[in-house]
Structure 1
């Protein structure tokens, strides 16, 4: 594919990925504020305890086949059809097993109310399995606009459902229903936008060419979910539902922040990097451009979120959630690096190195699991600090494997990432010290946002950032 054509498709994909994730985070924010004001931390804690089981089951039923379908050079109807019937059959089996194990899950958390909630919540990953091939089709063909519209429609419908049930007094059942409605609606939208349809031809032979690649991604995704939900597991076991709820509330806001960037970049990263995988030099250029763009967006967004966390939490969902604001401040700092890590992993997957992706993720997840278990007696904040340190430090390991593939030097990678990170950190730190004497919460949050929002682009512009100027030129071109 010519350089200008790939660049245009990438820019268009990033634009629609940004619109999609921006709209989703705004909607998530609106629905989340209303729901959090109605429900309490124990309600969120109940659902949070079950999330790890749903996520692992979801990974098992997807089995890494989405990336495997995207990575195939040539693809047929039979490939999609085999994945559809395999994933839906496996997910039904997993649902029945987990529904039967619900009493054991309730015993683990010492909470009998989790039995019916678990059997209801787990329906979500079965419904999600029905849309895997359609999602992969849209992803493979860079149909980012269609995926964006699907997500927005699903979020509007599910968010309205969740808020309505919360108002009617259904407590944590409303949160669980919201998740189920979301996956059901988004699958219907994928079905509408994708021209592919399943047929009653039960031929699983196409899976043989994908299973070596996809099985490694399956194990990787499981460890990723364990890694991302360590706190929900450990806190649910050794702390109260209220403390789990406070953490989950903070983690939800953190997820909204870094998912905005990760989702935008991930919507194009793997397909684009896969198209230039046979030319390491060109792939390195494309990867560095994506790396600079990711850092340019991620650091001001996440460090800015950390800066305004106490005021934002108090004004939006009430002072009863203020303990979660202090947790969010720490999580958001670590969250600034997650989109960068995600881009590194996409590079390895595009090179077909699912084995490296798998073993490195397992090593990282195991290290964090052991360390978090040893630290739980010392409190949540200390656990989070060490967790962040491991995540950030592990970027050096990811970089080593990327260097082996495309010979990207550590100096250039640090320069691409840290130039934006350092500027954002200095600006947020300066704004914090300049505004800390202001007592009025409305003036405080307004001045923080305005000061950081003006200073960051101004300094980036004065520094001569090519990434900023290219992004601005593209947006102005689209507007005109």
Structure 2
């Protein structure tokens, strides 16, 4: 089963590496053309669209993947329900655009919402077809669809930005991207919507998906709460710096955690009746993510200033402290994500919803306390919530679902501590000769990664051999 994870990860890895690379290049180009304020306004607009999209994503789409047999009537009914809901949501967005802009304290948002709202409709169009492609584990097709959509939308966006499009260019990119993804998934996938509709046929999909949908809405609301608080209480420029600080850590998390999380859910769903296999898949997935992710996170943390200066120029230098804190914050997300996939694969969406509600109550409490300490205090509170969320997911998997992963989690903690201590030692050594610049990044990366490889070879040799063996087997 572990070989199956790695085999299916090949195209998913290629997709994420390529898409993240293109997005990074696209983002760097736009950061040199647009201002931090443009990115700040864009972040506020995307809060609205992401919340609306959360109504139509995750729930019934995940149910299609999790359910062993899905009839044609269920597929088509789900498609028309999601499309209808998206149209209703768009109308609500349009009617209340002025009130929404008032809430965010930015009049520009009212102008952008009618166009940005199209993202909700274009996302709904591809939900069923994309879920069926994932269910069939056709990650090669997903790779092709995503990379074509991303390259075309990015190219058009750069042209609009060069013509003075400002924040509109960022909105255009999202509309074009979601439109192309949905169109291509319908065109290249094996399924097309039929003229079949019966509400009763999707009752079981709804039963599974309703808790996930509620959890997704709650999660999206609270994931964007920090963006809203920062944008509302500070300037859009500061919000632009904050979001830019999340970018590189987010890319790393998506690169490694995203691959495994996307692949293991359908595999875990098939192995849910075999407790031993189920546990091994979760344990191996955690190891795979952290043995590769942590060293790169350490390099990003200690080389953040040099990276920002070289790539984004001095106007983005205030990003550095945000980036360092976000590296620490994102260390907890892969563990949290993998364990969440395990909970959902067992069909315990009720437990997942309860966990999400608990986390959000904790988030509000911590945010209310930390906001008194300024923006940096808010981010420290965010780090605390991420660590608490990972612990709660681990507790649920271990004690409620009786799936013990103690050795895997202890291995992660040990690996993180050793990596940062080793990274600090290398930083102090390199800084004695050169302080910043691309040369510093290159020298630091080479020396640290070589020492990390030696550490893995000595203390984690079994896992290294296992990963490499599975890679070649894949």
TM-score (norm 2): 0.96
Q: Give the number of the structure with larger relative contact order, counting CA–CA contacts within 8 Å between residues 6 or more apart.
A: 2
Deviations 1:122-145 (A, max 9, x none): 111211100001110011111112
The answer to whether residue 473 in structure 2 is matched with residue 466 in structure 1 is no
Measure, in 2, the Cα distance between the counterparts of 1:330 and 1:63. 29
Q: Which runs of 5+ in 1 are unaligned?
A: 1-5
Task: Find the partner of 1:80 among 52, 75, 82.
Answer: 75
Q: After TM superposition, give the deviation of residue 476 of structure 1 in Å.
A: 4.4
Structure 1 residues 298 and 337 mapped into 2: Cα distance closer, same or farther (>3 Å)?
A: farther
Q: After TM superposition, give the deviation of residue 403 of structure 1 in Å.
A: 1.2
Instruction: Kindly indicate whether the alpha-carbon contact (under 8 Å) linking 1:435 and 1:444 is maintained by their aligned counterparts in 2.
Output: yes
Instruction: Kindly indicate whether the alpha-carbon contact (under 8 Å) linking 2:86 and 2:120 is maintained by their aligned counterparts in 1.
Output: yes
Q: After TM superposition, give the deviation of residue 394 of structure 1 in Å.
A: 2.8
Task: Find the partner of 2:165 among 170, 187, 191.
Answer: 170
Q: What SS does the corresponding residue of 1:75 show, helix, strand or coil?
A: coil
Q: What SS does the corresponding residue of 1:142 show, helix, strand or coil?
A: coil
Q: Which residue of 1 aligns with 2:44?
A: 49
Q: After TM superposition, give the deviation of residue 297 of structure 1 in Å.
A: 2.1
Deviations 1:184-243 (A, max 9, x none): 111122123310110122222222111122111111111221232122110111111111
- Show the 5 A alignment for 1:33-182: 33-62=28-57, 64-182=59-177
Measured on the aligned residues, the alpha-carbon RMSD in Å equals 1.7
Instruction: Kindly indicate whether the alpha-carbon contact (under 8 Å) linking 1:158 and 1:181 is maintained by their aligned counterparts in 2.
Output: yes
The answer to whether residue 323 in structure 2 is matched with residue 324 in structure 1 is no
Q: What SS does the corresponding residue of 1:70 show, helix, strand or coil?
A: helix
Q: After TM superposition, give the deviation of residue 104 of structure 1 in Å.
A: 0.6
The answer to whether residue 326 in structure 2 is matched with residue 346 in structure 1 is no
Instruction: Kindly indicate whether the alpha-carbon contact (under 8 Å) linking 2:74 and 2:202 is maintained by their aligned counterparts in 1.
Output: yes
The answer to whether residue 446 in structure 2 is matched with residue 453 in structure 1 is no
Q: After TM superposition, give the deviation of residue 410 of structure 1 in Å.
A: 5.7
Deviations 1:440-478 (A, max 9, x none): 512211112212222222321222433322222344456
Q: How many residues align?
A: 473
Task: Find the partner of 1:439 among 435, 438, 443.
Answer: 435
Q: What SS does the corresponding residue of 1:223 show, helix, strand or coil?
A: helix
Q: What SS does the corresponding residue of 1:379 show, helix, strand or coil?
A: helix
Q: After TM superposition, give the deviation of residue 365 of structure 1 in Å.
A: 1.8
Q: Which residue of 2 aligns with 1:3?
A: none
Q: Which residue of 1 aligns with 2:222?
A: 227
Q: Which residue of 1 aligns with 2:398?
A: 403
Instruction: Kindly indicate whether the alpha-carbon contact (under 8 Å) linking 2:307 and 2:437 is maintained by their aligned counterparts in 1.
Output: no
Q: After TM superposition, give the deviation of residue 63 of structure 1 in Å.
A: 5.6
Q: After TM superposition, give the deviation of residue 405 of structure 1 in Å.
A: 5.4
Q: What SS does the corresponding residue of 2:272 show, helix, strand or coil?
A: coil
Q: After TM superposition, give the deviation of residue 267 of structure 1 in Å.
A: 2.0
Q: Which residue of 1 aligns with 2:236?
A: 241
Q: After TM superposition, give the deviation of residue 291 of structure 1 in Å.
A: 1.4
Measure, in 2, the Cα distance between the counterparts of 1:260 and 1:102. 35
Instruction: Kindly indicate whether the alpha-carbon contact (under 8 Å) linking 1:423 and 1:456 is maintained by their aligned counterparts in 2.
Output: no
Q: Which runs of 5+ in 2 are unaligned?
A: none
Q: What SS does the corresponding residue of 1:73 show, helix, strand or coil?
A: coil
Measure, in 2, the Cα distance between the counterparts of 1:477 and 1:410. 25
Measure, in 2, the Cα distance between the counterparts of 1:424 and 1:132. 40
TM-score (norm 1): 0.94
Measure, in 2, the Cα distance between the counterparts of 1:416 and 1:196. 43
